[in-house]
Amino acid sequence: MESVEGKVVVITGGVSGIGLGIAKVFASAGMKIVLGYRRRDHLDEALAWFGARPELVVCPVPLDVTDRDAWRAALDTAEAEFGQIDVLVNNAGISFIGGIDQATYDDWEWIMKVNFWGVVNGITECLPRIRRHGRGGHIINVSSMAAYLSGAEIGLYATSKFAVRGLTEALRPAVAHLGIGVSELAPGLTRSNIHHAAEKRPAEFANTNFTPDAELIGKFGELMNMGMEPEEVGRRTLAGMKENRPIIFSHPESRDEVREICDAIVAAFPTDTPPPERAAIEEHRRAGKAKAGSILDAE
């Protein structure tokens, strides 16, 4: 998607952190913004920024990404306001600190319902609307560097983001023939308020071994404040979308560690020659993915 002027983008979690950074950059590039929000105070702060720039076009919509009816209502509002939807940015997410070995079912269900099923809901509800107008579009699913670099204390979060990564890689070749690009955005440490997510746990997921600790949350917040500015992530996201990159990495500091992981993966493969019939099957699979426009066709 080289030209974004006048395109309509739906951004979940769009009133703070990375979502707001993307919204500001995309709006400044001439896109019409559908701003998904849950908290009114965050919306008011976002609208104060947009209000000082009346040339930018924004339409806020209440949106809990786990609520499929809310998705339909939000997208109906977007289409009524702007006529169509061209781009979806599945950004909304939660995180909390705790050893994966101590997780309860409620911990797993909460983080997967938001971080993974929220993305599934967005794709399932939004993709048919992009397909309907037939002019192509783009879907950006926000994962994390945690989808590449996991750890015991962020194990649940990393698992949810690994799932988003896999979903994105599978979706890209499935819709390429429709002129719809798909990208995974995998940001590193970014200034945001995601560290407060643990304080807003819904009652239905109350059974947990991870009681919010004010001191731990404060330290997490100090760490987040040292992260990249959300607008910079937004600028790199816009560039990646324009080039239809399969993966958009915004932070350079993880490059060497990811290279080491890739080298270790390759080194783990057996070195014997596979039977010709098995090799032919894999060649056929690779050719099909490349033809569809997958990660394999990227430079």
Strand-pairing partners, residue 142, are 185
CA distances from 229 to 5, 35, 41, 66 (A): 24, 19, 20, 27
Indicate if 157 belongs to the active site: yes
Buried b (16+ CB within 10 A) or exposed e, 164-177: bbebbbebbbebbe
Spell out a b/e string for 194-214, using b for 16 or more CB atoms within 10 Å of the CB, else e: bbbbbeebeeebeebebeeee
Say how far apart CA 105 and CA 102 lie, in whole Å. Answer: 10
Please write the tens of the pLDDT for every residue from 78-112. Answer: 999 999 999 999 999 998 888 999 999 999 999 99
pLDDT of residue 292: 58
Q: What is the pLDDT of residues 142-156, one digit of tens each?
A: 999 999 999 888 999
What would the CATH number be for the domain defined by 8-257?
3.40.50.720
Please state the rounded mean pLDDT for residues 44-66. 97
Distances, alpha carbon 291 to alpha carbons 175, 177, 284, in Å:
12, 9, 11
Percent of the chain with pLDDT over 90: 80
Provide the residue ranges of all domains of the chain, joining segments of one domain with +: 8-257, 269-299
- HSE (CB half, 13 Å, CA atoms) of 147? 23
The residue among 71, 188, 180 whose CA lies nearest residue 133 is: 180
User: Angle formed by the axes of helices 117-133 and 105-115, to 10°?
Assistant: 20
Q: Please, what is the average pLDDT of the chain? A: 92
Catalytic one of 37, 105, 148, 157: 157
Residue 293 has pLDDT above 70, yes or no: no
Q: 179: Cβ–Cβ under 8 A, 6 or more apart, which residues?
A: 135, 136, 137
Strand 57-62 versus strand 87-90 pairing type: unpaired
What's the pTM? 0.92
Q: Give residue-wise pLDDT tens across range 199-226.
A: 788 999 999 998 877 777 777 677 778 8
pLDDT tens-digit readout, 56-83: 999 999 999 999 999 999 999 999 999 9
